[in-house]
């Protein structure tokens, strides 16, 4: 059986729905510190679970006979800058608990999300390679870089089958933005429909790696279903999809809402965004486990506006 820790979050919500449709809802146990949206809560078993409580995680794993764990709980970049020690404790202790359960053979396989936030100001900005200089300058990026090191250590030292992807900014319509720097690209669709105007907290030319959620879910399932022998990267795989800036996503929205306008008022998140790459080289993921993204910026804009318009 599968346990998703952080199932009420942006990725967790959609990952749970996808895995339940694929394996049957009784095979997929959702868990989080707080309840999720109505669809999540009505679609299968749910446990209130603190990702920092080892005994509580072990209890859920034993009771539900869990074999695979997707650890999706984390504090994202913007919020982590406000609460550094809370972010470090949540992002790291939750990972150690799951890695140690696997080391003690209580679970068989782990998915753990890393992020393009592991790259820093000294990393090459375009077509960022799989292996390169990584000096992250954010709390979130430091926690993800350290987590990658520990995943590789537990694989090499104890044979733990933990698999990881460096997600770009993810765009989805089923959950509200959750404290990420890339979440302007989710918020902009809501504000376009509600006010036909958006005050953007990043500058117009801030290009960032992004991806529509369906592509990210597909990549997550692909890497977890790949043969262990196909996984040659045991820290975390680069994953690429789209790269765009606020100006470009605005132009995409204006194809549907011609009067939509944007204004720029950069805040503390501009410095976070400026420390990250603009585009990513994901050759290794394409080679090792057949990854390729599908949804373009204009397709994503069509999907987002179509699925959100009834709320406004």
Residues near ligand VAH (CB under 6 A) are 76-77, 115-117, 140, 168-169, 180-182
In this structure, are residues 232 and 288 in contact, taking their beta carbons and an 8 Å threshold?
yes
Least distance between ligand VAH and beta carbon 269 (Å): 8
Question: 196 by DSSP, 3-state: which?
Answer: coil
Residue nearest ligand VAH (C-beta atom) = 180
E strands present in the chain? 2-5, 28-32, 46-48, 68-71, 109-115, 161-167, 169-171, 197-200, 208-212, 237-238, 242-244, 261-264
Least distance between ligand VAH and beta carbon 27 (Å): 28
**Is 312 part of the annotated catalytic residue set?**
no
Q: Which is nearer to ligand VAH, 44 or 180 (CB)?
A: 180
Q: Let me know if 104 is exposed, middle or buried by CB neighbors in 10 A (0-12, 13-18, 19+).
A: exposed
Q: Which is nearer to ligand VAH, 77 or 252 (CB)?
A: 77
CA 264 – CA 77 distance, rounded (Å): 20
Q: Which is nearer to ligand VAH, 143 or 252 (CB)?
A: 143
Q: Let me know if 284 is exposed, middle or buried by CB neighbors in 10 A (0-12, 13-18, 19+).
A: middle
Q: Which is nearer to ligand VAH, 82 or 255 (CB)?
A: 82
Least distance between ligand VAH and beta carbon 157 (Å): 27
Catalytic residues: 140
């Amino acid at each position: 059986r599968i346990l998703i820790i952080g199932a009420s979050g942006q990725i967790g919500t959609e990952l749970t729905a996808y895995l339940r449709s694929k394996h049957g809802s009784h095979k997929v146990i959702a868990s989080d510190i707080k309840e999720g949206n109505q669809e999540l809560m009505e679609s299968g078993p749910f446990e209130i679970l603190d990702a920092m409580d080892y005994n509580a995680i072990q209890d859920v794993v034993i009771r539900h006979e869990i074999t695979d764990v997707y650890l999706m709980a984390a504090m994202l970049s913007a919020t982590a800058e406000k609460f550094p020690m809370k972010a470090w404790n949540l992002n790291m202790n939750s990972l150690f608990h799951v890695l140690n359960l696997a080391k003690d053979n209580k679970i068989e396989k782990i998915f753990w999300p890393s992020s393009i936030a592991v790259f820093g100001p000294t990393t090459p900005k375009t077509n960022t390679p799989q292996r390169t200089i990584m000096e992250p300058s954010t709390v979130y990026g430091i926690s993800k870089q350290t987590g990658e090191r520990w995943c590789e250590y537990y694989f090499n030292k104890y044979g733990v089958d933990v698999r990881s992807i460096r997600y770009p900014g993810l765009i989805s319509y089923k959950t509200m933005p959750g404290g990420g720097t890339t979440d302007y690209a989710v918020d902009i669709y809501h504000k376009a429909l509600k006010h036909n105007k958006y005050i953007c907290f990043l500058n117009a030319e801030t290009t960032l790696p992004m991806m529509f959620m369906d592509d990210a879910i597909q990549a997550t399932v692909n890497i977890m279903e790949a043969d262990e022998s196909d996984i040659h990267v045991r820290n975390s795989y680069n994953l690429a999809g789209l790269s765009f800036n606020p100006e470009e996503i605005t132009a995409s929205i204006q194809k549907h809402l011609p009067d939509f306008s944007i204004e720029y008022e950069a805040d503390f998140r501009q410095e976070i965004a400026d420390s990250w790459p603009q585009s990513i080289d994901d050759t290794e993921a394409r080679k090792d486990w057949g990854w390729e993204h599908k949804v373009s910026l204009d397709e994503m804009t069509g999907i987002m506006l179509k699925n959100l318009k009834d709320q406004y």
